[in-house]
Chains A and B, each alone.
Chain A
């Protein structure tokens, strides 16, 4: 809290609730297109405009509840997202998020700049959507998975057929989700790319199921993180309101055009944005050393 008051006069005069709301729309749009999520992009920008990093993280976390829940709606209704698998994984992500957010409230802001930059860098490691879609097998890959009946099927419009799948290594995947939740809670972001990596490589979910299920889980994870920030007093009404409204509108629009853009365009866009954000955070971190 003291930090907020000290930095009071450092907030850029360009930043107001109107500019934040309007600016959050393209950010939410890009966040949805690149899979980074609005908060990952907005937090470094806010920090560079003088908003204390913990405040930006707390408000990012709260606004994610809206973006994630809003965009999950159609995937849940069309039953592409697997609600059962999501609820299993939420057991792990919520605990991770509470621990992560608690760490953030206690450590020096200096660490957060570098953690944020490092986590953004790790999104380059994301698996290149391995096409090796394992053929429908009737064998259960795992005892826990069978016991909980973790399987599903969805209709893939691109392939024009129903795709069945079974979840493998749910407990190992749960461990990965604990880490994803930890990073999400600490940095106030959805950590969607990380979740998708775990779900595709360990749980062997088909890519579409993976990205939509991850989106669904992020809302619950963000709530867990937000509960900690509510207690710690980092939630600023004048920041959170415009951020939530703007990024959600942007994400909604982004979801509409997602399928119309080429993969190559997206990859270039993604790389440019991530590099820019990493540089931004490191610069801020080094300057405050």
Chain B
């Protein structure tokens, strides 16, 4: 009964993915909502702003992440928290791919290890070197 073994272990993967996605999305939305609230206390308004500081721009996401966690170049707490929320959002599907690669590798399913590794490679390259 290889197929039912596979079914059982794949439901573990599905469960792990669903926890990961929930945690990532909920954390990120809360951070963004808190950021918006702080923005109001800091600036006294909630206007959609086209000022340059409102735009995220980074050549390398991983360097950006390191910078952000260090306290970042953003002086404003509210913007820092909103940025953190978006970063968590970006990292959620990314972590999902890493989880899948590890899972398929441990399951010795090398075809799917390669498939998920390809997606991981594409995303990493796009985030890092663009």
Instruction: Give Cα A232 to B57, complex, Å.
Output: 6
Residues of B within 8 A of A250 (CB): none
A interface residues, tally (CB under 8 Å):
59
State whether the Cβ of B14 lies closer than 8 Å to any Cβ in chain A.
yes
Min C-beta distance of B80 to chain A, whole Å? 10
Instruction: Give Cα A4 to B53, complex, Å.
Output: 13
Contact at B35–A94, with CB atoms within 8 Å? Answer: no
Contact at B112–A231, with CB atoms within 8 Å? Answer: no
Contact with B along A222-233 (1 / 0, CB 8 A): 111011101111
Total A-B Cβ pairs within 8 A: 175
Select B10's contact among A4, A83, A235, A240, beta carbons within 8 Å. A83
State whether the Cβ of B106 lies closer than 8 Å to any Cβ in chain A.
no
Contact at B119–A227, with CB atoms within 8 Å? Answer: no
Select A240's contact among B22, B64, B86, beta carbons within 8 Å. B86
Interface extent on B, as a size class? 35 or more
Residues of A within 8 A of B24 (CB): 69
Known: A76-B17, A237-B82, A241-B32. A91 touches B47 (CB 8 A): no
User: Closest residue of chain A to B60, judged by CB?
Assistant: A231
State whether the Cβ of B73 lies closer than 8 Å to any Cβ in chain A.
no
Contact at B118–A91, with CB atoms within 8 Å? Answer: yes
Contact at B47–A17, with CB atoms within 8 Å? Answer: yes
Min C-beta distance of B23 to chain A, whole Å? 10
Contact with A along B111-130 (1 / 0, CB 8 A): 11001101100110011001
Contact at A91–B119, with CB atoms within 8 Å? Answer: yes
Contact at A69–B36, with CB atoms within 8 Å? Answer: no
Select B115's contact among A5, A62, A76, A87, beta carbons within 8 Å. A87
Residues of B within 8 A of A5 (CB): 50
Residues of A within 8 A of B50 (CB): 4-5, 7-8, 11, 236
Please indicate which of the listed interface residues A1, A7, A66, A228 has the most CB atoms of chain B within 10 Å of its own CB: A66
Contact at A223–B94, with CB atoms within 8 Å? Answer: yes
User: Closest residue of chain B to A51, judged by CB?
Assistant: B48
Contact at A233–B97, with CB atoms within 8 Å? Answer: no
Instruction: Give Cα A240 to B21, complex, Å.
Output: 19
Residues of B within 8 A of A239 (CB): 48
Contact at A220–B111, with CB atoms within 8 Å? Answer: no
Contact at B25–A227, with CB atoms within 8 Å? Answer: no
Contact at B122–A98, with CB atoms within 8 Å? Answer: yes
State whether the Cβ of B1 lies closer than 8 Å to any Cβ in chain A.
no
User: Closest residue of chain B to A67, judged by CB?
Assistant: B25
Min C-beta distance of A146 to chain B, whole Å? 12
Instruction: Give Cα A228 to B125, complex, Å.
Output: 11
State whether the Cβ of B66 lies closer than 8 Å to any Cβ in chain A.
no
Residues of A within 8 A of B85 (CB): 241, 244
Instruction: Give Cα A44 to B46, complex, Å.
Output: 22
Residues of A within 8 A of B13 (CB): 83
Residues of B within 8 A of A79 (CB): 10-11, 14
Contact at A76–B21, with CB atoms within 8 Å? Answer: yes
Contact at B116–A148, with CB atoms within 8 Å? Answer: no
What are 10 A-B contacts defined by CB distance under 8 Å? A62-B89, A66-B29, A88-B115, A147-B111, A223-B94, A224-B126, A233-B57, A237-B55, A244-B29, A245-B29
Shortest 5 CB-CB contacts between residues of A and residues of B: A233-B57, A17-B46, A231-B130, A77-B18, A241-B32
Q: Which residues of A contact B (CB under 8 A)?
A: 1, 4-5, 7-8, 11, 15-18, 20-21, 51, 62, 65-66, 69-70, 72-74, 76-77, 79, 83-84, 87-88, 90-91, 94-95, 98, 147-148, 219-220, 222-224, 226-228, 230-242, 244-245, 248
Add 20 more A-B contacts to A230-B90, A231-B57, A244-B85 (CB < 8 A): A11-B50, A16-B46, A17-B39, A17-B47, A20-B48, A66-B25, A66-B89, A76-B17, A76-B21, A77-B14, A77-B15, A147-B111, A148-B112, A219-B21, A220-B97, A226-B90, A227-B90, A237-B79, A242-B36, A248-B29
